[in-house]
């Protein structure tokens, strides 16, 4: 009987503490903090039957992997294949650079025509396109990320992928607006790596491709630096 009364007392105390927390509005604070990061997932590569059919022309092999993932249980292992694996001899129609050598650029494309389709066309509410990329090479690799709208306006960014580490790529939607892209009608995104000088296929792991941040919330104003007396 004494044990039963002790249990009831503990439950009563817990209920009283919860009532006080609710009364002070603290639960609303927790909920508000939880929802401050606005995010919509474009592709997290969790579903092998749905997430891996990007348009590649067969020049990039995309397959599920449980290594180097940053979100969920799986990611995409993308193997960018070499030109000589398809065209041992120079082939008409393959673009060349102004300096003469053949330019080989296998791409991963997610758009309205790919089997795995771009699921979100309206980006105006978000502040950045983000993705995580792990470079499996022993040397840096340059990535390229390109976005286009329904009018074929294009914005592209690039940068280095650190060897054996995850690079968190971020493309601010403000940059797309400055390039005159229509954020209400985004139609495609492309990802590729620089294959210049590569003698072996280049392998990277992609994960957590998402839109993040709330573009409808004004950025905090920066205070002007105080002048020294």
> According to the model, what pLDDT value does residue 88 have?
77
- Domain assignment of residue 7, yes or no: yes
- Pair (156, 117) in one structural domain: yes
Q: How many domains, in total, are found in the chain?
A: 2
Query: Which CATH number belongs to the domain containing residue 153 in this structure?
Result: 2.60.120.260
- Pair (88, 176) in one structural domain: yes
- Pair (16, 66) in one structural domain: no
* Pairing state between β 75-80 and 154-161: unpaired
Q: How far is CA 138 from CA 131, 134, 164, in A?
A: 21, 12, 7
- Pair (9, 94) in one structural domain: no
- Pair (57, 24) in one structural domain: no
- Domain assignment of residue 229, yes or no: no
Residue 91 lies in domain: 37-214
- Pair (53, 77) in one structural domain: yes
- Pair (132, 21) in one structural domain: no
Cβ atoms of residues 69 and 42 within 8 Å: no
Q: What is the token pair recorded at 157?
A: 């960014």
Residue 140 has pLDDT above 70, yes or no: yes
Q: What is the token pair recorded at 77?
A: 């292992």
The pTM (predicted TM-score) of the whole model is 0.75
d(CA 66, CA 207): 11
Instruction: Please state, rounded to an integer, the average pLDDT across all residues of the chain.
Output: 84
Tens-digit pLDDT profile for residues 62-118 = 999 999 999 999 999 999 999 999 987 655 555 544 444 458 999 999 999 999 999
Q: What is the token pair recorded at 194?
A: 């620089």
- Domain assignment of residue 144, yes or no: yes
- Domain assignment of residue 224, yes or no: no
- Pair (50, 155) in one structural domain: yes
Confidence of residue 149 (pLDDT cuts 50, 70, 90): very high
Percent share of the chain, pLDDT over 70: 73
- Pair (82, 134) in one structural domain: yes
């Amino acid at each position: 009987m004494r044990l039963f009364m002790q249990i009831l007392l503990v439950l009563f105390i817990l209920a009283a503490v919860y009532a006080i927390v609710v009364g002070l509005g603290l639960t609303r604070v927790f909920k508000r903090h939880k929802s401050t990061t606005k995010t919509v997932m474009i592709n997290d590569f969790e579903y092998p039957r749905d997430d891996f059919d990007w348009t590649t022309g067969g020049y990039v092999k995309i397959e599920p992997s449980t290594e180097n993932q940053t979100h969920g249980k799986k990611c995409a292992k993308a193997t960018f294949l070499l030109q000589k694996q398809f065209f041992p001899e120079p082939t008409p129609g393959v673009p060349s650079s102004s300096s003469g050598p053949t330019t080989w650029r296998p791409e991963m494309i997610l758009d309205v025509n790919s089997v795995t389709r771009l699921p979100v066309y309206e980006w105006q509410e978000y502040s950045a396109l983000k993705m995580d990329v792990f470079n499996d090479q022993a040397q840096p690799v340059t990535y390229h990320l390109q976005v286009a709208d329904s009018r074929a306006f294009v914005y592209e960014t690039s940068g280095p992928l650190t060897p054996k580490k995850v690079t968190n790529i971020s493309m601010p939607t403000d940059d797309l607006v400055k390039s005159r892209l229509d954020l209400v009608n985004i139609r495609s995104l492309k990802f590729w790596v620089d294959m210049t000088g590569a003698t072996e296929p280049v392998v990277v792991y992609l994960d957590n491709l998402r839109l993040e941040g709330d573009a409808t919330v004004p950025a905090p104003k920066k205070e002007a630096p105080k002048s020294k007396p």
